[in-house]
Amino acid sequence: MNESTLTLKNGLVIPRICAGTWNFNANEAKEAIIKALENGIRYIDTAQDYQNENAIANAIRESKVDKQSVIVSTKLSPREVKGYETAVEGINKSAIIFSGIGIDIMFIHKEENCNKDISYDNIGIVKALIEAKEQGIIKAYGVSNFSIKELQEIKD
């Protein structure tokens, strides 16, 4: 490992600098990612709810960089993914979009101001992520915007 990368527990090496795409529409995302790749950024982060995965995948495909040198992370939609079955659907949806590129990390995405009345089966979602990793669909998984209490519940 050097100062510009991190090594995850599973051995995946990722750059410390990432181009985030929250709040970019499809055109803005595509333009930003093309410029980021031209300038040496090799870690791109998106989410299903950002509605720009297709644009980002197309930007990576159209770029002149080696597709295998680009780390892609995305997040499952908290609006659509509530448990195991919807997680499998969400994983497959993003896998199709990023076919030929790959998904390195997929996160369970919780909105910071989510509706507390909605019940999520995070254990089922994690099970779907573990299966996707075992099948080679993703290389790693994690959570976004989870509290320590929520992490402990999943761990337990």
Mean residue pLDDT of the chain comes to 91
CA separation for the pair 22, 123 (Å, rounded): 26
What's the pLDDT score for residue 79?
87
- pLDDT band of residue 153 (cuts 50, 70, 90) is confident
User: Which stretches of the chain are DSSP H helices?
Assistant: 26-38, 53-62, 84-97, 122-134, 148-155
Contacts of 47 (CB under 8 A, 6+ apart): 22, 53, 74, 75, 77, 107, 109, 144
DSSP state for residue 52 in the 8-state scheme: -
What's the pLDDT score for residue 99?
96
State pLDDT tens for residues 81-126. Answer: 999 999 999 999 999 999 999 999 999 987 665 555 556 888 999 9
Residues 40-52: what's their mean pLDDT? 96
Give the whole-number percent of the chain exceeding pLDDT 70: 93
